[in-house]
Amino acid sequence: MNPPKKIFAAGCVAQLSEIPGLTKTLTVTEREKKSKEKKMVRKRILLILSISLVLLMAAGVSLAATINIDASKTVGINPLIYGNNMNTGSGNDTDVGTGWGAWDPNGLSAKDGKSVQDVVDFAQDAGITILRFPGGCIAHQYHWLYGIGPYANRPTINNGTHGWIDDTDNKYGTDEHMAFAEDAGAEVMITVDANEYWDVDAGTNGEWVPATSREAAAWVAYLNGEVGDTNVIGVDENGKDWYDVDHWATLRGDPNYANHPAPYNVTYWEVDNEVWDNYDSVTEYIVDFNDFYTEMKKVDPTIKVGAVIAGRYAWQQTLIESLGDKTDFIIYHSYKPLIPKNQNITDPVDDIFRAVLAAPTQVQDAYTFMRNIIEISPGSSARAQDIELLITEFNTALRNEDPNYQHSIGTALNVAEMLNYLMVPDNKIGAANIWEFTSNVFGQVKGLTAPDYIVRPNQYVFEMYNYYFGSELVNTAVTSDTYESIDFYGAKAVTKYTAATGDATLRIRLQRDPGTNISGDIWYDDLVIRASGSDDNLLTNADFEDSPEFTGWTHSTDPQGVTSSIDNTVSRSDSNSFKLSLTAGNDPDYDANMYQDVAISSGTSYEIEGYIKTQGIAPALMNLLTNPGFEDGTTGWTFNTVTGATTTIDTTVSHNGSNSVKVVFDGTDVNYYHTVQTIDNIDPDLVYMLEGYIKTDNLTTTGSGVTLELSDDTGNSASTTFLPKVKGDTGGWVYISTNMLNPADNATQLKVRLRRYGGDGTKGISGTARWDDLRVQALPKYYVPNIEVDVLDSLGGVNKTITLDGVLGTRDWLKRIPDRTQRGTPYLSAVASKDASGNLYLMVINKDNTNDITTQINISGYVPPADVPVWTLEGGSAFDANNEIVSNVVKVNSSSITGASANFSYTFPARSLTAIAFGLPVPAPEPIGLWKMDETSWNGTAGEVFDSSTAGLDNSGYAYNPNSTGPLPNTITDTERGQVGSFPGGDSVNGAGLVYIPGNSSQDITGDLTIAGWVNMDIAGNNHI
């Protein structure tokens, strides 16, 4: 176990300070019941706007798109992607111990408290399926034992003094969280502390002590253990006795504790959160993970235990290779874009949100990359299909406070697109948790008590997927125009491929480059090359359905080791696909054996995509090093002498074979780079990695440990900032890998060094380090079958090549597109689904800030009804519209389609999320409620527009100040319109709660006029709201 380490705010988005904002009144609507297959027990539809009369201004120029739905092809959606995060405390005196308003800690213990029903309602409306606890970076220092049992026994931890994480009085602990989750109908995910906690009983006034695996095991026992289980957990390295499983299982059933005799059977357990700031290297975390994994599984072998992965290749490769034989899931977080707090943002709003909405595709690239590592790493490949990805935090992090971009319609559309990617079967997402449910900073619901709740746009996104989306994903293909976007705080710039002068032809090749032996099968289907904004696929027989079978394609004899065919048993759509079978023991060059040419026009942008499915695609490992295991002594290596370190070939200790390199450090602060090998004739177009094994014995230093370094001959080096650095006593051999190196264009050599960074004279190092079984290779993705598109001139010369990467291992159908420098972001994206009753749903995102998009919708395998309900999340005049100042600017509007069929068109509003529920009835206009507004009910002087809620610019209830001197104006302008809030209700006799509009006055309306209100479902009582 590593000693306690102080942690820093960098890399931990979750404990940002509060964003100040106005608290507005939220009127919670009545909800109607609806029958629909969902995990949640409660099923209430949020009727956002019941009656709306809107005089629309002219819309932007309408773009065009097409959505093709094949309802006969379905695959299940994991319901746990609709997860969320909750905090135990946040440092605000008014919400300590309430889980940000989720719990009322009234009384002496959890049994006296209760979930706050309004917050339970919000959770059920959002369809939250799994709730993570204790929430983000507080897990680094969370001692779960302080959050169970009688409140009088729970200490307040002032982390403002003891550390930097928020204070908590521990009144929202494990007992309360489990009760709230049960009320909400959600599962629970637990993040255990592998770092440290403040022990109130240690020392004179308490002190930091290491968190231990036995503490985590006891938490497993408390939640999952069986009474009568005498499995001993034992005493940890802090001297604390954690007893046996029965002890904690019995305590769980105590009325003063959880009062829950039955086990909770929590499945998912994370070993800490965002640990890259807690550990000097990934190898230290791996040691701790193995300890925690072993102890926790002793208590309950059925749980799933996961390891944290960083966004850096060295961390990912090292962790997966080292833990692939045991970890149940890999944990990845994404906040893209991530704006530093209080940053002054001057970019135009439209540019910002183009980047925000281009970011989810880049996160999908990361998912694919990690799955490639899992599929091909020797340590994980045998279990690749069993290792899940868990995205336990995701969101944007637009932390500028003014304007508040974080809670805007633009961010909501980003979250919707993230949900669409989380559904992709090939990603194997075990669960996902947006950050976060309730809080002032990131919460999708803000406010601690009614009526001060603000429903933010992200909440509406989850409500729409909960109520208006099914449980099985349906094949959907979208064509729309695309856009380019700027580089913006982690969201990389996206640029289209636009044909330059001299570009005459695109040649698409289904191909594979040689380099190492390979085996496995790959299928291609639904290939597309089209001009941006056009629905016409320039390819002939792009789905391989035509006869004869290679119509449109140039197909030549297969080289040795390859068998190509049209496969009528596997397809993404229709019946056929193109298949390559690769026989083990061969290194084929399958270059121009299957291609098709299409003519293009200079100045036109083109979109390229295709789908790939694989079975067991496995390139053989290669090694560019000579004598990588030192079995031939120093052959291939240069050994230079340096003061402070002695280098020899050790013939007594090795990882494999007989030999290793041994370096003995004498205590000097040595900068060691003196064992080196040069690799000639590299290809600068490839990306290289270095991996190997290190063993240390009593390697003591206050500075950097030992590692590996990879560089090219121009001085370009793989980033060394986060490379694994090993020290201490490893006990055995540990695996490490370097960050990837993309050589400079003029590089011809690679250099590999055994490395220790130091030399400033203050951080001496003593002890022994050994290296063995080193490997340098180009990333395996360069040797797998892929899609390449050559841009040819009029004479057939290649101007450039666009690559759509292949994938490794066994993968389901996965959409492949070029990298972000050769692809645009589609303005329109869509996913379709079915529920258990066979009803069809379509969810569509329009990412254009200005333009509506008229879309042709084609449906096969399902006969839609003529009349279809529609719900649209929209609002405000721009992407940054939010509900922080004016309530419900961003809201869900309902409408309907009349005359839907297998082929019809629909116009999706600018910057919107739209749900079309083909299987649900259109809500009847009568008699779902009563709305009182007629000429005889108005009250007041002609020209007044009045409501009895006293809303309005001056809180008088008037659209303008009726007491102003002079004649009343007869024109209501945009700035004078009433800003109607919550109607108090009342009866029709006294007129309370009514909107009054003069019946005999002439009104000239400039801009939009919306007359809308909440409908009371109490028809019998004739009550109108």
Q: Specify if 928 maps to a domain.
A: no
* Same-domain check for residues 611 and 695: no
- Axis-axis angle for helices 313-323, 349-376 (nearest 10): 30
Which residue, of 902, 917, 932, is where some domain finishes? 917
Provide DSSP, 205-251: T-EEEE--HHHHHHHHHHHHPPTT---B--B-TTS-B--BHHHHHHH
Provide DSSP, 632-695: TTTTT-EE--BTTEEEEEESS--SSSS-EEEEEEESS---EEEEEEEEES--TTS-EEEEEEEE
The whole-chain average pLDDT of the chain stands at 84
When pLDDT is cut at 50, 70 and 90, the band that residue 97 belongs to is low
Query: Positive or negative CA dihedral for 787, 793, 795, 801?
Result: negative
Residues 6 or more apart in contact with residue 617 via CB below 8 angstroms: 375, 518, 519, 520, 521, 522, 582, 784, 785, 806, 807, 808, 809, 810, 811
| Distance spanning both ends of the chain, measured CA to CA | 62
| Strand partners for 235 | 241
The predicted model gives 787-795 an average pLDDT of: 98
**Cβ of 366: how many Cβ atoms within 10 Å?**
16
Among the residue ranges 4-13, 451-460, 878-887, the one predicted with the least confidence is: 4-13
The predicted model gives 912-922 an average pLDDT of: 95
CA distance 508 to 501: 20
How many structural domains comprise the chain? 4
* Same-domain check for residues 791 and 861: no
* Same-domain check for residues 280 and 318: yes
Which residue, of 884, 900, 917, is where some domain finishes? 917
User: How does pLDDT run across 526-580, given as a tens digit for each residue?
Assistant: 999 999 988 899 999 999 999 999 999 999 999 999 999 999 999 998 999 999 9
Q: Are 132 and 107 in contact (CB under 8 A)?
A: no
Q: Are 130 and 137 in contact (CB under 8 A)?
A: no
Residue 951 has pLDDT above 60, yes or no: no
pLDDT of 490 reads: 95
pLDDT of 928 reads: 33
pLDDT of 1018 reads: 43
* Same-domain check for residues 750 and 802: no
Burial 551-567 (b: 16+ CB within 10 A, else e): eebebeebbebbebebb
User: How does pLDDT run across 616-661, given as a tens digit for each residue?
Assistant: 999 998 999 999 999 999 999 999 999 999 999 999 999 999 999 9
CA distances to 579, 871, 892, 905, 922 from 897, in Å: 42, 11, 16, 10, 9
The share of the chain scoring above pLDDT 90, in percent, equals 69
| Strand partners for 871 | 894, 915
* Same-domain check for residues 648 and 602: no
- Axis-axis angle for helices 282-299, 313-323 (nearest 10): 40
CA 91 to chain CA centroid, nearest Å: 27
Which residue, of 859, 888, 917, is where some domain finishes? 917
pLDDT of 7 reads: 30
CA 452 to chain CA centroid, nearest Å: 29
pLDDT of 89 reads: 66
The share of the chain scoring above pLDDT 70, in percent, equals 81
* Same-domain check for residues 244 and 117: yes
CA distance 297 to 326: 11
CA distances to 885, 939, 976, 1024 from 948, in Å: 21, 11, 17, 13
* Same-domain check for residues 769 and 642: yes
Q: Are 788 and 775 in contact (CB under 8 A)?
A: no
CA distances to 648, 701, 751 from 671, in Å: 17, 13, 17
Among the residue ranges 338-347, 358-367, 672-681, 849-858, the one predicted with the least confidence is: 338-347
The predicted model gives 35-42 an average pLDDT of: 32
The predicted model gives 30-57 an average pLDDT of: 31
* Same-domain check for residues 744 and 862: no
360: which DSSP letter?
A: H
Among the residue ranges 251-265, 361-375, 928-942, the one predicted with the least confidence is: 928-942
277: which DSSP letter?
A: G
**Cβ of 228: how many Cβ atoms within 10 Å?**
9
Q: Specify if 376 maps to a domain.
A: yes
CATH number, residue 713 = 2.60.120.260
Residue 1019 has pLDDT above 80, yes or no: no
Residue 518 has pLDDT above 90, yes or no: yes
Q: Specify if 7 maps to a domain.
A: no
CA 46 to chain CA centroid, nearest Å: 26
Domain range for residue 179?
13-446+456-470
CA distance 8 to 957: 50
* Same-domain check for residues 68 and 132: yes
Question: Can you point out the beta strands (E) in 876-933?
Answer: 890-898, 903-908, 912-917
CA distance 51 to 1006: 21
User: How does pLDDT run across 424-444, given as a tens digit for each residue?
Assistant: 999 999 999 999 999 888 999
Q: Specify if 929 maps to a domain.
A: no
When pLDDT is cut at 50, 70 and 90, the band that residue 166 belongs to is low
* Same-domain check for residues 788 and 771: no
Question: Can you point out the beta strands (E) in 215-352?
Answer: 268-271, 304-308, 329-339
When pLDDT is cut at 50, 70 and 90, the band that residue 1002 belongs to is very low
Measured in degrees and rounded to the nearest 5, phi and psi for residue 214 equal -70, -35
Q: Specify if 629 maps to a domain.
A: no
CA 233 to chain CA centroid, nearest Å: 35
Q: Specify if 953 maps to a domain.
A: no
Which position has the token pair 């022990």? Answer: 199
CA distances to 179, 528, 542, 825, 895 from 608, in Å: 50, 6, 12, 12, 35
CA distance 849 to 878: 6
CATH number, residue 847 = 2.60.40.1180
pLDDT of 159 reads: 59
CATH number, residue 179 = 3.20.20.80
* Same-domain check for residues 723 and 806: no
Question: Can you point out the beta strands (E) in 465-517?
Answer: 472-480, 482-483, 497-498, 505-511
The predicted model gives 687-702 an average pLDDT of: 95
Q: Specify if 43 maps to a domain.
A: yes
pLDDT of 690 reads: 94
The predicted model gives 983-1000 an average pLDDT of: 40
CA distances to 375, 465, 512, 580, 942 from 617, in Å: 9, 35, 12, 11, 77
* Same-domain check for residues 796 and 768: no
Burial 374-386 (b: 16+ CB within 10 A, else e): bbbbebbbeebee
Residues 6 or more apart in contact with residue 218 via CB below 8 angstroms: 145, 233, 242, 243, 248, 299
CA distance 172 to 885: 30
Q: Specify if 524 maps to a domain.
A: yes
Provide DSSP, 151-218: GGGPPPB-HHHHSSSPPB-S-SSHHHHHHHHHHHT-EEEEEE-SSEEEETTSTTT-EEEE--HHHHHH
Residue 400 has pLDDT above 80, yes or no: no
Assigned token pair, 224: 């999952």
CA 304 to chain CA centroid, nearest Å: 20
